Structure 1
Amino acid sequence: MVFLPPRTFSVQLRLAETNEIFSLPQCQNDLTLKKLKPHLELLTGVPLNFQWLQYLDEVDLPDDSTFKDNEIVPGGMITMRIWRQDGRGRLVAAAAKGETVKLAHLGVMEDFAGTTPYAEFLGPERRKEWVAHRASVALFVASHRGCVRTAEFLLRNGADLHSKTLLGRTALHVAAVAGQRACIELLLSYGAQAFDPDHEGQTAVSLARLSGQKQSEHTMFRFEWKKKAADAVPSTIFESSLAADI
């Protein structure tokens, strides 16, 4: 008996809040939505817990269901929406489009936190956490899209570039996958870690390599090499001075 490999095919994914279209190759009938979503985080720059998937007549796709269960066919269109609570959709859309002024009114700054019905009931400490989370999500999305000015605005106003998604990914991870070299350089200059692994053991460097983003990979390697070289200079000078004294 000859065992044939599972048939693969491509589908499209539309992010409703921005109307962006992404291509999903190498899909299979037995692929579950639960296994797909971590990949979508890298493909779309939308954190896992923000993703809400639908198909055809906008029927929700359960995480444990497969493409076959949902009758998703080659060339079909899956819709991703952002969970609607707390203005998340507007936050993601503004970050994806680099709309810095809008972001400033959507709760990404402590000095001007904006407001949503949810935020109005938060105490000072919880509100601070709420702002920090929204700023990190906006940085994640903006870095994936290459919105350098928006990313820099967020970083200058306190966004934590070390903040991670549920899958352990930072803004640098998605910038590397998307080949956004200007954002990569910006994040590295603020202290992002190119070799910090996510929960699957993948670093920004390894993800760039797997995604075929050689320039992104080289950018991170060059930065790390220069950093190590700069750190080594003081000790070299000290050793030379010490040798001269002896």
Structure 2
Amino acid sequence: MTRGHRVRSRVGDPQAASSAPDLAPDVFVMRVLLEETREMFPVTNCRGDMTVRELKEELDLVAGIPVDLQRLQYLDQGVLMDDTTLKFHDVVPGGIISLCVWRYDGWTELVLAAAEGDPSKLSCLGVTEDSFYQTANSQHLKEKQWKKWVSQRAFVALYIASHRGHVEAVQYLLEHGANCLSRTPVGRTPLHVAAAMGQLDCISLLLKYGASTNDKDAKGMTPVVISRRLNHKHNERQYKMLLLHWVANPSDRQDRPQGVLSNFFGSQSDSDGKPSRKPAPDLSGSVRRLPPGGAAARG
């Protein structure tokens, strides 16, 4: 008997519960707790057949943690393998999955500093080429490899800081050479996550330093499309900012202007074919921070 069946058997008619088909919704919401920062992120549109890898790809955007740094756990089951499904692990609607950062090469400390948005802490963690910071791994790297290592750390810090709207940290990282065109393993740039979270000041900074509005992630989504679909309270200003950048930068345009413009102003269609502008879920303000050791960490 699965955990889901045990929960359902406690309410209503036991006989009816035993003879009824699986009543778990096809699509549901669950929560993910980033253990290092105590931030809680709701994840919508989850399915029983969703793989752990697919969930990680969602968290790359929703939680702002690159997929290759994520380690997911549910209850006491240990690390969840990428090719397993939520149903396999008996994940229930509203359940909480723990997200941890892999504890190697100093990534945990870097993620904490970037999530906090403190430039003084970031400056001590190997995000600039004049840094004296070393790990057991980095001290054996040759110059070319070491520069690549620093560049990757600077990008990860920029990605996380952009997601959380830490303007001072973003400014510091960009001024010290962080590449705003670098991508996570699923093809997302800092502009993708800044647009997803409606971080207007960070969007402005990233555009100033050469971020592209048309870079596509692995799902074919540009920052413009993400901004269009997520209905933030500041979306009109955000659309205008991105559109003005597109108009002022011919090299950043797609081949067909009408295709780009439709990303901003195009409408969806209802089942009857009539235009619709139904708002997509708003991710801004959806993150909340739990106290250390809070009971909510396990339900």
Q: TM-score range by the shorter chain?
A: 0.7 to 0.9
Matched, 1:74 2:96: no
1:22-101 correspondence runs (5 A)? 22-57=41-76, 59-101=78-120
Q: Distance in 2 between matches of 1:184 and 1:29?
A: 35
CA distance in 1, matches of 2:84, 2:143: 41
Shift in alpha-carbon separation, 1:58–1:154, aligned structure 2, 3 A: farther
Picking from 170, 176, 190, the partner of 1:171 is 190
- CA drift of 1:7 comes to 2.3
Is 1:221 paired with 2:243?
Answer: yes
Q: Which SS does the other structure have where 2:117 is aligned?
A: coil
SS at match of 1:150: helix
Return the alpha-carbon distance in structure 2 between the equivalents of residues 131 and 162 of structure 1: 15
Aligned-pair identity in percent equals: 43
* Moved segments of 4+, more than 6 Å: none
TM-superposed CA distance for 1:225, in Å, is 2.5
**Quick check: 1:105–1:115 contact (8 Å CA) kept in 2?**
no
| Counterpart residue number, 1:195 | 214
| Superposed displacement of residue 86, structure 1 | 0.4
Letter in 1 for 2:202: C
Q: Deviations over 1:113-166 (max 9, x none)?
A: 412121111121111111011001100110001001101100111111111111
Offset of residue 40 of structure 1: 0.8
How many angstroms apart in 1 are the aligned matches of 2:225 and 2:94? 30
Alpha-carbon shift at residue 227 of structure 1 (Å): 4.4
Please tell me whether residue 152 in structure 1 is matched to residue 171 in structure 2. yes
Tell me, in whole angstroms, the C-alpha distance in 2 between the residues paired with 1:59 and 1:150. Answer: 34
User: TM-score if structure 1 supplies the norm length?
Assistant: 0.87
Matched positions, count: 225
- Over the aligned positions, Cα root-mean-square deviation in angstroms equals 1.7
Structure 1: give runs of 5+ residues left out of the alignment: 229-246
- TM-score normalized with structure 2 length: 0.72
Q: Which structure dedicates a bigger proportion of its chain to helix?
A: 1
CA contact (8 A) 1:104 1:113 kept: no
**Aligned residue runs from structure 1 range 112-151, under 5 A:** 112-151=131-170
- 1:205 partner letter: V
Once the two structures are overlaid, the 10-residue window that deviates more, 55-64 or 215-224, is: 215-224
Distance (whole Å) between structure 1 residues aligned to residue 24 and residue 79 of structure 2: 29
What is the CA-CA distance between 1:84 and the residue it aligns to? 0.8
Q: 1:106 aligns with which of 93, 113, 125?
A: 125
1:5-39 deviation digits (Å, cap 9, x = unpaired): 95222211100111100011222212111222111
With CA pairs under 8 Å and 6+ residues apart, which has the higher RCO, 1 or 2? Answer: 2
- 2:71 maps to a residue whose letter is W
CA distance in 2, matches of 1:6, 1:77: 17
| Deviation digits for residues 176-219 of structure 1 (CA, Å, limit 9, x no counterpart) | 00110100000001111111212221110001112224243332
1:76, distance to aligned residue in structure 2 (A): 1.1
Distance 1:118 1:170 in 2: 26
Q: Unpaired segments of 5 or more residues in structure 2?
A: 1-22, 251-299
